[in-house]
Structure 1
Amino acid sequence: MLVLDHISKTFNPGTVNEKSALRDVSLSLEDGDFATIVGSNGAGKSTMFNAITGAFYVDQGSVILDGEDITFEKEYVRSKVIGHLFQDPLKGTAPHMTIEENMALAYLRASTANHAYFSRISASDKKKFREQLACLDMGLEDRMKQPVGLLSGGQRQALTLLMATMVTPKILLLDEHTAALDPATAEKVLKLTRQIVAERKITCLMVTHNMHQALELGNRTLMMHAGHIVFDVQGEQRNKMTVEDLLEQFSLHAGSDLDNDRILLSKDEN
């Protein structure tokens, strides 16, 4: 479903602020793969996501999605087939628009119709929106006419997840999408994530700082350091790994210990 073929990206080249963010990164995801990603700040996780979504063009290499070369495709075109959630719950929705209007925009963005207009949202479409909101079990189906800005962070993130997947994307990118939520809400959004990804068989990449999630969620774990993917594990080898094993493998392949405090603290979480 996704192939990153030796992609590299350097910001501010030739200046004192030059930063090599991605260095010859290669990755291949099969249809339905769910890979978690861990790494220190500045490892290149979010930059790799932005290379996939088209926030910038890579300097070298190519990005292939579902057999199509999208390396130089515009970001708004890629957004029709790529779902993307951020750590900040406020980024995925328009606060002054109603829940119904936000869902309509998400639905039309991913529409394949030649003439998809906001005014063409039908009563049956609105009924589907209500049914999908009811699945969140947050009471949002009864608040469809309310501005999204009145919702809590967890409710907005759950709504954003729904909007990103209401038309099944070819790939779903989750950039620490529960990190800014309180533990109970984070667990609820994570449960919804598991459910939606499994039911729709969506190919998914999820950045997490939680080492237990990195091994328990999905079928594959990637570790990044200094713009490289330094470790990639799946199958029986992954099933047998502990958090300590994962940290040891990071040190072995990266040449240094993992230095992210949030990640290290998470290894003792249940």
Structure 2
Amino acid sequence: MLILKDISKTFNPGTVNEKNALNHVSLTLKSGDFATIIGSNGAGKSTLFNAICGDFMSDTGSIQLEDMDITFMPQYKRAKYIGHLYQDPNKGSAPGMTILENLALAAGKGGWLSHISKKDKLIFKEQLKQLDLGLEDRLNQPVGLLSGGQRQALTLLMATYNPPKLLLLDEHTAALDPQTAKKVLSLTKEIVEKNHITTLMITHNMHDALSLGNRTIMMDNGKIILDIEGSQRENTTVSDLIEQFKEKSGNEFDNDRILLTK
């Protein structure tokens, strides 16, 4: 489904601010894979997502999505095939538009749903009911008035309304309170499994990294240093992950957010 070959990216080359963000990254995801990604601060996790989405062109390598070479495809064209949720709940939806208008935008497959029929509204309400947040009765409320958790759940629904070929989740529950984060994570799992969406999810929670999906990937210094699945993953503990990071990177794990998460 997704093939990355030799992806590298250096920002501000030749200056004092030069940063080698991605260092010859290669990765293959099969259709339906749900891979969690964890890593130290500045490991290149979000940069990897930005490379896949086309926020910038990589210095080397190629990106193939299903049967398409998207290496040089503009970002707006990739957005038709790739869903992307961010840590910030304010991204991914239009605050000045109503819930109904946001869903109409999502339903339009990259364009505006020109006419919202009674049938469309009923479908939207049914979709919103699965969030269990009461949003189905607030279709005309501006999205900007929703709480962070409500908005993130709505954004998840929008990003998967027309199931994408690939879903990228960039710590999409990190800014939410624990109870809401648990709810959004449960919805994520349900939607991904129901629609068989190939997914990459960055998380700061090592327990989630090992319990969600079918693969766990660890990054450090712009490289993938660990990629486990199957029985190897099933027999791996959080302590094992920390120890393997130290062994493969030569450094202590330095992400306090991860180390303190239970």
TM range (shorter): over 0.9
Q: 2: distance between equivalents of 1:54 and 1:72? A: 8
Structure 2: unaligned runs, 5 residues or longer: none
Deviation track 1:56-104 (CA, whole Å, cap 9, x = no partner) reads 1111000100121000101111111111000000011111100011111
Q: Is residue 2:17 matched to residue 1:36?
A: no
RMSD (Å), alpha carbons: 1.0
Partner of 1:67: 67
Counterpart residue number, 2:145: 150
**Alignment length, in residue pairs?**
262
Question: How far apart, CA to CA, are the structure 1 residues paired with 2:66 and 2:253?
Answer: 33
1:7-86, aligned counterparts within 5 Å? 7-86=7-86
Per the alignment, in what secondary structure is the counterpart of residue 145 of structure 1?
coil
Distance of 1:31 and 1:43 partners within structure 2: 25
User: What secondary structure sits across from 1:77 in the alignment?
Assistant: helix
Q: CA deviation at 1:117?
A: 4.3
Does 1:188 pair with 2:183? yes
Dislocated runs of 4+, deviation >3 Å = none
State the distance in 2 between where 1:117 and 1:37 align. Answer: 33
Match of 2:92 in 1: 92
> Secondary structure at 1:119's aligned position in 2?
coil
CA distance in 2, matches of 1:249, 1:122: 55
- Once residues 35 and 178 of structure 1 are traced to their aligned partners in structure 2, the CA distance between those partners, rounded to angstroms, is 16
Displacement of 1:14 in angstroms is 1.3
| CA–CA separation in structure 2 for the residues paired with 1:122 and 1:24 | 49
SS of the equivalent of 1:229 reads strand
Question: Aligned partners of 2:28, 2:204: CA distance in 1, in Å?
Answer: 22
Which shifted more, 101-110 or 247-256?
A: 101-110
Distance 1:11 1:108 in 2: 35
1:231 aligns with 2:226: yes
Distance (whole Å) between structure 1 residues aligned to residue 15 and residue 112 of structure 2? 45
TM-score (norm 2): 0.98
Question: 2-side partners of 1:79 and 1:227: how far apart?
Answer: 24
TM-score by length of 1: 0.95
Greater Cα shift, 152-161 or 124-133: 124-133
Alignment partner of 2:123 out of 118, 121, 128:
128
1:126-164 CA deviation, whole Å, 9 max, x = no partner?
221111001111100000011001110000000000000
Q: Structure 2: how far apart are the matches of 1:48 and 1:160?
A: 21
Secondary structure of 1:26's aligned partner: strand
Whole-Å Cα distance in 1 between the matches of residues 121 and 73 of structure 2?
31
Residue matched to 1:212: 207
* Alpha-carbon distance, 1:118 to partner: 3.9
- The match for 1:113 is none
- Paired residue type of 1:19: K
